[in-house]
Structure formats: C-alpha cells, structure tokens
Structure 1
Amino acid sequence: MNWISNYVRPRINSIFSRREVPENLWTKCDECGTMLFHRELAENLNVCTNCGHHMAITPRARFTALFDGGIFTEVAVPEPIADPLGFRDGKKYTDRLKEARRTTEEREAMLVAEGEMGRTRIVAAGQDFSFMAGSMGMYVGNAIIAAAERAVERRCPLVLFSAAGGARMQEGILSLMQMPRTTVAVQMLKEANLPYIVVLTHPTTGGVTASYAMLGDVQIAEPGALICFAGPRVIEQTIREKLPEGFQRAEYLLDHGMLDRVTPRGQLRDELISIVRMLLKEPPAVMGDLPAPATLESPASTALHEGEAAAEGAEAPAPSGSGETAPAGDKG
C-alpha cells in the first residue's frame, strides 16, 4: 500500500476541491419542524408541504404569483422626510432604515404595483413584515394613498395585503396620523364605486388593524393569521384570564363574523379573480396560470383604446404579396 498516493493525495484533493454549499438550501417549518427544500418551498408559495403552515412571503414574490405571467409595474410612492423627529434609541432611526433596506433589498415596508390578474386590471399593495416588522410609517401612508389614487385613475379595484406589527414608534404621532390618512384614501375608492379587498396575513396588529386593514368591502385572511389590535399576551395580563384556544386567529375571527373568508395562499389568486369580477359585474374569467399581457397600457393609451380598436376594425388588406395591412384611410 502506497500511503502517499492512497491517502495523502486524495485527502489534499478533497480539501482543495471542496465546494461551498449555500446555507439557505433548507428551511425548517416553525409549526411541524419539517426540513423543506428551498425550491419546493418557493414553488408552494412558502407554505409547508407537510402541515400547510403559511410562512412569511415578500410582496414581490407574492405579486409574481398573483399577476398574469408574473408581470407587474411598480407604482411610484412619494418619499417622506427620512427622520422627522431625529429619533434615536439604541440606534439611530436612519441606521435602522439602512439596515432594513440592505437586508430586504426593498425601499420600504410597502410595495405598490399594477397589472392584470385573470385579465382584469388591478392595483395591489403589499406590506413586508421583514422590513421593520412592516410597521406603518409615513411611507406606508403615502403608499396606500398612491395605490388608491392609481386605482381611481385607472378605474380598477385595489387589493391590499396587510402584515404589520403596528405603527412605527420612531415616527411618533406622525405614524399615528397615517390611520386617518389611509381611511380617507379608502373612502376615495368607495366614492368612486371601486372594490377594495383586504387580505390579512400573519400578523396584522395594532394601528394597521384599527384603520385600513379592516375597511375592505371583502375581508379575506390566510389560515392561522394573527389579527388583532392588542396581542393575546397583553390581554391575558390585563384581564388576568385565560383566553379561548385560537383566540384572535383567522379561523376564530371567521366564526365570530369579523371575516368573510379564510383562504389558503395557493387558492387565493383564483378566489380574488372571482370576487373582483363579481364586484365589477363582469363575466367569470378563465382560471389558472395565464401568460403575461402583451403590454401594460398607460393612462393615455387606455383613453385611446376604443379609437384604436375602431381603427383596427377598419383596416383593409394590403396589395398582393405583402404581409402587412393598410388602414382604409390611407388608400389615397
């Protein structure tokens, strides 16, 4: 036996040819403890394939699954003052914002987008709990107002996905003022006779629950979502009584008339399409995965849509041998 060739050389080769294995290939389910492969988990929209537990999902990933072909256009949100109170506790507020933006790769705690869902144009707004617990600050207020204004401009429904720990303490009273501001934004939709649908995800708490998250024409929740103003632990400490099993969870609220539906994430898109088209008094849409729309029309092109359709209907065949058509008005 040649000790150098049979042991030393293979050992050296294994050390220098070792490949780095990413640490995030597997995710452990918080509910059942099952180890889930990251690709399978992403394909199942971050829902455990073993027990059905709904894990957190980013608004961008949610919108990719929601809109036809995963195509959507972000709606611009006005930027508020970065640190109006000059707040500092253990760390500067501006430093906390930088850290949240670095870890989430998002600008703020809410993403607003527009696109087609089941060939029905909608505006959607989604909160990101991983960005400072999805807390409601001035940016979130601006985002909801921008979403409502775009929905009124386009004459389309607004679908909002809530996920928040409440108001953002670093902005003080300015954060609490977003409660009436967003309520006014919702009222704009109601006055325009446009549907406003809220999907409450885990968790939705505090001032968010006390404002725009509970004002929908239709209230839907994901299974097991915690929905409350004050949490169960705070209530138990206050009243010194044991709360019922599942208190303030989506299923409990559905049984007590505070929700219209509790829908698993995988079925949510088709249900939203049915509800939206029903509220718009439109015929049922074709369900399932649809390809991306050819174009996302701008407001100007939407206004000219009927005129363009009429022009296309009046087109005449081009001379023989040509693959193009010539408009009837250009015959000379």
Structure 2
Amino acid sequence: MNWLSNYVRPRIRALVGQSKPEVPENLWHQCASCERMVFHRDLEANQQVCPRCDHHLRVGPDYRFRSLLDEGWTRIEMPKAPADPLKFRDLKRYGDRLKEAQARTKVQDALEAASGAIDGMPTVLAVMNFEFMAGSMGAALGEGFVTAARRAVAEKAAFIVVTSSGGARMQEGAISLMQMARTTIAVEEVKEAGLPYIVILTDPTTGGVTASFAMVGDVHIAEPGAVIGFAGARVIEQTIREKLPQGFQRAEYLRDHGMVDMVVHRFEMRATLARLLGLLLRPVPVVEETAVIDPPAEAEAVEETVPAEKAPHDEPQQ
C-alpha cells in the first residue's frame, strides 16, 4: 500500500477542494466566424464583437436597450396571445416547446420593446430575440409589434425595430402568416402619423420577417456580415440550378445592390441613430422673412415726372 498516493494525496485534494471557488462555465465564448475562443471580459469590452475577426455576435434585447437608449428607459409590457391556437404537435407539443423556450430565456416570446430616448429624442425600440425559437414570428410577436408601434404613435416617438429571425413560426400555420399583414399595417400607422420607422437588420433576418415589416422602413441599417434574405442560399441554388455570387445575401452585397441603405458597425450604431433621428424628428428651424422696404417718396415723384415713351401707333405717319 502506497501511503503517499492512498492517504496523503486524497487528504490534500480534499482540503484544496473545499477552499476552491466555483468557476463559471461561460468564461470563454467561441466565435462563430473564426472559431477562436474569446474571453468573456474581452467580448464585453468590445461590445460583443470578436476582437480578432470583427464578427458581430448575436445579442439579446436587454443588451440593445442598454447600448442604444438613454438611461431611464422603461420596458413595454407585451400583451398575451393564444399559446397554442392550433394544438400543433410534431415530435413535441408546441405548448411544451413554448414553455421550454420561456423557461430558458425568461421572456414570454421572441419580441421585447422599450420606451425611452436616443440623444434626448423620444424612441420606441422593439428587439427580436433569436434565442427564443430562432426569433420566429407568431401571433404573440405580431401582437407585441402592433402594441409597440401604437405606443410610438401615442408618444409621438420614432419607431426602431432590430430584426433577428428565422421567419414565420410553422407551428402556428396561417396564423403566423397573418402577422405579415398585421405588422405592415402597424408600420403604415406610424408613417401616417409622420413618425420615422427605422429597421436595423442583424444576423440573420430571413423568411416572413424579411417579406413584411423588415423591408418597409424609411431607413434600413444592417450590421456587417448579416445574412438577410427570404429563402436560404442553398434552396435558391437548387431551384435555379446556378451558382450564386460571392457574398450573396450578406449585408454588404445588399447595400451595393440598393436593398440596404447603410452597413453600420456596432460601435457606431448609437451615433448613427442619433444623427438620423436628429434629421427626421427635430423640427426644421423657421427662417424669418425680411421686411420689404418701401421705396422713398422722392423716388416715386421722380418716376412720375419722367415722360412715358410714345406708343408705336402715336408716331407720325410718313
């Protein structure tokens, strides 16, 4: 029997193990682009952008609210919608999938909204959460979108939406497709009130979201490298049987072809929004009209004494 290995070493490990602090499991994150491990503090300091390849990692609504809105913003309560209107079931019940997503993300559905300001200008910000069932659009998301849009109209605020979605939620069938029309009508209410509607397209924005409220904004901003489209690139290639161009459906490609107004880095997003809202919300200064000075009376008298030229019919006949 080895005394050191069987007695001393276990006692030392027991003593060290009791005083060893618990180490969190999420200290390191893997970049989806370069696949390198990045320390969590480096990511936080770099606004969730990979410091090596500049890839923009996905972030949730809370991060967007803190980074874009001024201090003092308030969360908008989202209305409740039917949880499982079609009683859908595939490998699992749709209701069970919803409960699992709600327990994991601590939110009710894939859209959250807040009321606040950007650089002092009133703003309602709605953000989609990709972590909740891939940001899919269902009845709850549509109801929340309409609520946020009408809140912007009531507060005479700009309406900004950050999109990140895989499209319509198949478990709700035609009900999810109806949200395409509902959200588009809500956008029209904002525009009829004379308020700006700005869309920030993040990775990914696809499916029914792209075909509805994501592409009807007054200004479309995209984050670098974001995938934006309706159907997937592989589906399109198999349908048309052609090789797609390099960078197809990426933010830079869409900007070069007129589908996106600008591609803005996350570091500059807040400043860009503040500049846009300053142009779209702040009233145009009124220039005072200069008073017309009447000519002096002496000048009028001089004009009256000047003989008028003879008309052609007054000239003597030859």
From 53, 56, 59, the equivalent of 1:54 is 56
Alignment match, 1:64: 66
In structure 1, what is the Cα distance between the partners aligned to 2:89 and 2:217? Answer: 35
- Is 1:168 the equivalent of 2:164? no
Alignment match, 1:280: 281
Q: Is the 8 A contact 1:116 1:122 kept in 2?
A: yes
In structure 1, what is the Cα distance between the partners aligned to 2:96 and 2:18? Answer: 40
In structure 2, what is the Cα distance between the partners aligned to 1:229 and 1:46? Answer: 26
1:137 to partner: Cα distance? 0.4
Q: 1:58 to 1:8 in 2, by over 3 A?
A: closer
Alignment match, 1:36: 38
Q: Is the 8 A contact 1:253 1:259 kept in 2?
A: yes
Q: Secondary structure at the match of 1:207?
A: helix
For 2:272, the aligned partner's letter is: E
Q: Secondary structure at the match of 1:68?
A: coil
1:282 to partner: Cα distance? 4.8
Alignment match, 1:113: 114
Q: Is the 8 A contact 2:29 2:38 kept in 1?
A: yes
Q: Is the 8 A contact 1:250 1:262 kept in 2?
A: yes
For 2:135, the aligned partner's letter is: G
1:59 to partner: Cα distance? 0.8
In structure 2, what is the Cα distance between the partners aligned to 1:3 and 1:217? Answer: 72
Deviations 1:240-296 (A, max 9, x none): 11111110000000000111100011110110010011111358xxxxxxxxxxxxx
Alignment match, 1:326: none
Q: Secondary structure at the match of 2:173?
A: helix
Alignment match, 1:243: 244
Alignment match, 1:180: 181
Alignment match, 2:123: 122
Deviations 1:21-79 (A, max 9, x none): 1111100111122221112212322111111101110011111111113x321112221
Alignment match, 1:81: 82
Alignment match, 1:22: 24
Q: 1:81 to 1:11 in 2, by over 3 A?
A: closer
Alignment match, 1:10: 12
For 1:113, the aligned partner's letter is: A
Q: 1:180 to 1:11 in 2, by over 3 A?
A: closer
Alignment match, 1:256: 257
Alignment match, 1:133: 134
Alignment match, 2:292: none
Alignment match, 1:309: none
Q: 1:102 to 1:3 in 2, by over 3 A?
A: closer
Q: Secondary structure at the match of 2:268?
A: helix
- Is 1:211 the equivalent of 2:215? no
Q: Secondary structure at the match of 1:177?
A: helix
Q: Is the 8 A contact 2:121 2:281 kept in 1?
A: no
1:20 to partner: Cα distance? 2.6
For 1:60, the aligned partner's letter is: D
State how many pairs are aligned.
282
State the identity as a percent. 53
For 2:41, the aligned partner's letter is: R
Q: Which moved more, 1:18-27 or 1:266-275?
A: 18-27
Structure showing greater radius of gyration is 2
In structure 1, what is the Cα distance between the partners aligned to 2:157 and 2:6? Answer: 74
Q: Which runs of 5+ in 1 are unaligned?
A: 284-332
Q: Secondary structure at the match of 2:114?
A: strand
TM-align CA RMSD: 1.8
Give the TM-score normalised by structure 1. Answer: 0.81
Structure 1 residues 195-206: aligned runs within 5 Å: 195-206=196-207
In structure 2, what is the Cα distance between the partners aligned to 1:61 and 1:187? Answer: 28
For 2:197, the aligned partner's letter is: Y
Q: Secondary structure at the match of 2:180?
A: helix
Alignment match, 1:102: 103
Q: 1:3 to 1:154 in 2, by over 3 A?
A: closer
Q: Is the 8 A contact 1:152 1:194 kept in 2?
A: yes
Give the TM-score normalised by structure 2. Answer: 0.85
Q: Secondary structure at the match of 1:160?
A: strand
Q: Which runs of 5+ in 2 are unaligned?
A: 285-318
1:121 to partner: Cα distance? 1.3
In structure 1, what is the Cα distance between the partners aligned to 2:203 and 2:144? Answer: 20
